[in-house]
C-alpha cells in the first residue's frame, strides 16, 4: 500500500503552505508544528516530511529548534529538507533528530559532494528532485539548474540511492491533482528507486489513483490544512493497510 507522508512546511517556526513555490503567495496557518506532528502520530502515521523554507533559501537550516522539538516529543521518522548545502548542515540536521535528509540544491549543483554523502550515509539520504519548467529547481525554487529531472536522477544511478522526492512545482499547493503521467513514467524508469509524489494532492481519490499506478510514497500537504483530506481519512486508509 502506498505510504502516506504528511508535510509540515515552516517559515519562522510556523506552519505555512506556498502556491507554486512562491514565497509571496504563502499562507500561514494557526496550527503549531508540534501539534500537527502529534496528531499525525496519534492516527498511526510513521513518517513526517518537514521542510525548512527559510533554510531552503539560505545556506544553512534555520528552524532546527522545530526539528528538535518534534524529534524529542514523537517517535516519527522525520525527513528534513531545506538548507542542507554543506557537511556541517547535514550533520546539524541529523544531530537535531532527523531520520532522513533531503538534498536538492547540493545534488544538482555539486553532484560529486552528494555522491560522497551517499557513500557515507546510504539510505538516510533522499534526493530532492524538484521540477520547474522542465528543469531542476534549486535554492528554495528561486532558480533553476541546467539539468532535467531524469538527467539528475541518472547522475546517481551507480550509487545506493533508493528514494527520490519529486515535486512538480507548477502543481504544488494548487489542489488540482498531481502530474500522474510524470510520476508513473519516473517510477517505471527507475524501478529500484522509490519515487515519492509531492505536489498537487487534492483528495483521497488522487492517492487511490497513484496507488493503482504503482507509486509507493506520497506527500500530502495543503489538502490537509484546507480539510480536503481529514485526519479521519488518513486513519481509515492506514487501517486498510
Dihedral sign of CA atoms 226, 229, 233, 234 in order: negative
Nearest 10 degrees: Cα torsion 23, 24, 28, 32: 30
- β pairing state of 14-19 and 194-198: unpaired
**pTM confidence score:** 0.93
| Of 52, 54, 130, 233, catalytic | 130
**Interatomic CA distance for residues 136 and 150, integer angstroms:** 10
130 among known catalytic residues: yes
User: What integer pLDDT is reported at residue 6 of this predicted model?
Assistant: 98
Running DSSP on this structure, what letter comes out for residue 235?
A: H
54 conformational bin, left if phi > 0, alpha if psi -120 to 50, beta if neither: alpha
Question: Can you list the domains of the chain with their CATH numbers?
Answer: 3-240 (3.20.20.70)
Q: Which helix (H) or strand (E) holds 144?
A: strand 143-144
pLDDT for position 133: 84
The residue assigned the cell 521518522 is 77
Q: How far apart are CA 56 and CA 71, in angstroms?
A: 20
Question: Mind listing the pLDDT tens digit of every residue in the chain (241 residues)?
Answer: 999 999 999 999 998 867 666 565 667 676 899 999 999 999 999 999 999 999 988 889 999 999 999 999 999 999 999 999 999 999 999 999 999 999 999 999 999 999 999 999 999 999 999 888 888 988 766 788 889 999 999 999 899 999 999 998 888 677 889 999 999 999 999 999 999 999 999 999 999 999 999 999 999 999 999 999 999 999 999 999 7
H-run or E-run covering 87: helix 87-95
- Beta strand 77-81 with 47-52 is parallel
* Measured distance CA(176)–CA(187) in Å, rounded: 21
Q: How far is CA 96 from CA 32, 40, 61, 64, 83, in A?
A: 19, 20, 11, 7, 14
Cβ contact 165:190 at 8 Å:
no
Q: Are 71 and 38 in contact (CB under 8 A)?
A: no
9 is known as an active-site residue = yes
pLDDT of the residue at 57: 84
Query: What was the pLDDT predicted at 144?
Result: 84
Amino acid at each position: 500500500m502506498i505510504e502516506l507522508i504528511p508535510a509540515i512546511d515552516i517559515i519562522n517556526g510556523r506552519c505555512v503552505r506556498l502556491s507554486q513555490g512562491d514565497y509571496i503567495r504563502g499562507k500561514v496557518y494557526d496550527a503549531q508544528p508540534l501539534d500537527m506532528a502529534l496528531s499525525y502520530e496519534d492516527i498511526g502515521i510513521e513518517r513526517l516530511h518537514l521542510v525548512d523554507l527559510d533554510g531552503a533559501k539560505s545556506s544553512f537550516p534555520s528552524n532546527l529548534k522545530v526539528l528538535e522539538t518534534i524529534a524529542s516529543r514523537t517517535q516519527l521518522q522525520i525527513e528534513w529538507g531545506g538548507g542542507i548545502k554543506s557537511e556541517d548542515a547535514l550533520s546539524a540536521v541529523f544531530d537535531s533528530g532527523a531520520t532522513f535528509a533531503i538534498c536538492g540544491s547540493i545534488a544538482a549543483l555539486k553532484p560529486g559532494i552528494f555522491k560522497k554523502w551517499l557513500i557515507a550515509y546510504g539510505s538516510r539520504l533522499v534526493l530532492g528532485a524538484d521540477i520547474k519548467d522542465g528543469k531542476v529547481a534549486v535554492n528554495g525554487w528561486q532558480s533553476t539548474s541546467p539539468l532535467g529531472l531524469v538527467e539528475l536522477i541518472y547522475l546517481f544511478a551507480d550509487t545506493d540511492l533508493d528514494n527520490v522526492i519529486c515535486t512538480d512545482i507548477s502543481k504544488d499547493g494548487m489542489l488540482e491533482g498531481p502530474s500522474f503521467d510524470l510520476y508513473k513514467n519516473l517510477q517505471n524508469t527507475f524501478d529500484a528507486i522509490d519515487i515519492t509524489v509531492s505536489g498537487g494532492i487534492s483528495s483521497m481519490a488522487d492517492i487511490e489513483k497513484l496507488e493503482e499506478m504503482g507509486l509507493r510514497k506520497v506527500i500530502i500537504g495543503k489538502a490537509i490544512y484546507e480539510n480536503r483530506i481529514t485526519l479521519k481519512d488518513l486513519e481509515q486508509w492506514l487501517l486498510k493497510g
